[in-house]
């Protein structure tokens, strides 16, 4: 069996005294992460919108086709014969 290496914590230093992490460090990192997420979502919005529209059109078309088929099966045929 292969040995699993123990995970060592990353050496992180903050801006506080003695390299301690302060609230400002956490806030700046969260703003950095948020900026990356916003860029990604902004570039994905047109694709998501197009996919959503395609899905709605597909569902409506499927409902139309299935409803039309069901209606044809339920049609009543009355045969009139003249004597």
Say what the pLDDT of residue 71 is.
64
Q: Is residue 43 part of a domain?
A: yes
Q: Which residues contact 14 (CB under 8 A, 6 or more apart)?
A: 20, 21, 22, 25
For the record, the structure tokens of 30 come out as 């969260």
Q: Per the domain annotation, does 46 fall within a domain?
A: yes
Q: Residue 4: its pLDDT value, please?
A: 62
**Does 22 fall in a domain?**
no
- Residues 53-64 have a mean pLDDT of 95
The DSSP letter of residue 5 is P
The structure tokens listed for 28 are 């700046």
Domain span at residue 38 reads 29-73
Query: Above 80 in pLDDT, residue 69?
Result: no
Q: What is the pLDDT of residue 58?
A: 96
Predicted pLDDT of residue 10: 66
Number of domains within the chain: 1
């Amino acid at each position: 069996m292969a040995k699993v290496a123990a995970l060592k914590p990353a050496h992180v230093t903050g801006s506080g005294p003695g390299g301690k992490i302060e609230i400002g460090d956490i806030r700046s990192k969260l703003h950095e992460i948020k900026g990356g997420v916003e860029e990604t979502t902004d570039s994905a919005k047109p694709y998501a919108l197009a996919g959503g529209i395609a899905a709605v059109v597909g569902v409506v078309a499927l409902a139309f086709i299935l409803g039309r088929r069901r209606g044809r099966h339920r049609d009543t045929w009355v045969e009139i014969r003249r004597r």
